[in-house]
Amino acid sequence: MDSEQTGSGEVTTPPAAAPVPPIAGDEYVEDPFADATLPGMPAPAMPDEQQDAERSDAPAADGPPAIPEPAELTEHGPARVIAMVNQKGGVGKTTSTVSLGAALAGYGRRVLLVDFDPQGAVAVSLGVNPNELDVTIYNLLTDPECHVGDVILSTDIVGLDLLPSNIDLSAAEVQLVSEVGREHSLARALRPVIPEYDIILIDCQPSLGLLTVNALTASEGVIIPMETEYFALRGVALLKDTIDKVASRLNPDLRIIGVLPTMFDPRTLHSREVLQTVQQAFGDAVFQTTISRTVKFPDAAVAGEPITAFAPGSAGADSYRQLAREVLAR
């Protein structure tokens, strides 16, 4: 502080100035909500070390166990036949069949997709026009001279083949009614290629008619894709009853591998409540994997590619790769 000199020569020091009171608004007040995140807002960025910890494959202490990576195969076959069944349409059966098949092929499995729906949606999802095919699974079921090897098509995905169908298959149900052992028609048709594949996935039509019964009779396991929506719950009891009847009368080896929640929207209370109800009803039969809604799935279908090829880094592709690991582990 500077000193002043008076006329008499004395040096005086002015009194210290009174502290300036803080101006309203200048003082720092700790915000109790600084770390809060509003719904819809992204969480604050974490330090790199914490992000690495979040990405760790180790499960949480009270979370589900980690799904192991599948072992590499030294030889192929015999195939495990799995039917994708739900009598309700629009629940993601075809998307799940194609995406799961491609994910399994990515893990080194030889996979055959059986399009057992007259709509031919599996073929379309793989870039094949079913209306231009001369030979389909319909010929395989109705023509004794037709061999399964004459109908199978290779795809652009390594290890993934297709047994296609088209609208002709809708006539097969009528023609098979008079056949002896009509429920075993698909099983007889697939028998020659069982040793050549590791997994055979059958995409069923949305009904519980003779074609679906054929698929269940030919399979050893069932995956039930189920939309996380109220009306999807109502038909599951009827589907389970059909599966139980086929298991008791036609195929004692048949069992439910798992229930796959699809079209899940975590933003809605309804989806979360339905998912909770499904988990309570089916327990451990519900897959850990939940397929969420994303525009990537219809985009991939339009492109004629599985999601794992169309958008390999997407959340949808990651979900089906996780599902593939779960299926191989069960």
| AA letter at 144 | P
Q: Note whether residue 68 is domain-resident.
A: no
Q: Note whether residue 5 is domain-resident.
A: no
pTM: 0.79
pLDDT for the residue 84: 96
Give me the number of domains the chain comprises: 1
Tokens of 223: 């995956």
Q: Note whether residue 9 is domain-resident.
A: no
**In the chain, which stretches have pLDDT less than 50?**
17, 20-61
Instruction: Please calculate the CA angle 116-117-121 and round it to the nearest 5 degrees.
Output: 110
Q: Note whether residue 75 is domain-resident.
A: no
- Total length of the chain: 330
Q: Note whether residue 306 is domain-resident.
A: yes
CATH code of the domain containing 136: 3.40.50.300
Q: Note whether residue 253 is domain-resident.
A: yes
Q: Note whether residue 58 is domain-resident.
A: no
pLDDT for the residue 177: 86
Q: What is 115-128 written as a DSSP string?
A: EESTT-HHHHHTT-
pLDDT for the residue 289: 95
Which residues constitute the domain of residue 93? 80-329
pLDDT for the residue 180: 86
Q: Note whether residue 162 is domain-resident.
A: yes
Please classify residue 283 by burial: count the beta carbons closer than 10 Å to its beta carbon, then call 0-12 exposed, 13-18 middle and 19+ buried: exposed
Q: Please state whether the peptide bond connecting residue 68 to the residue before it is cis, i.e. omega within 30 degrees of 0.
A: no
Please state the separation of Cα 55 from the chain's center in Å.
Answer: 21
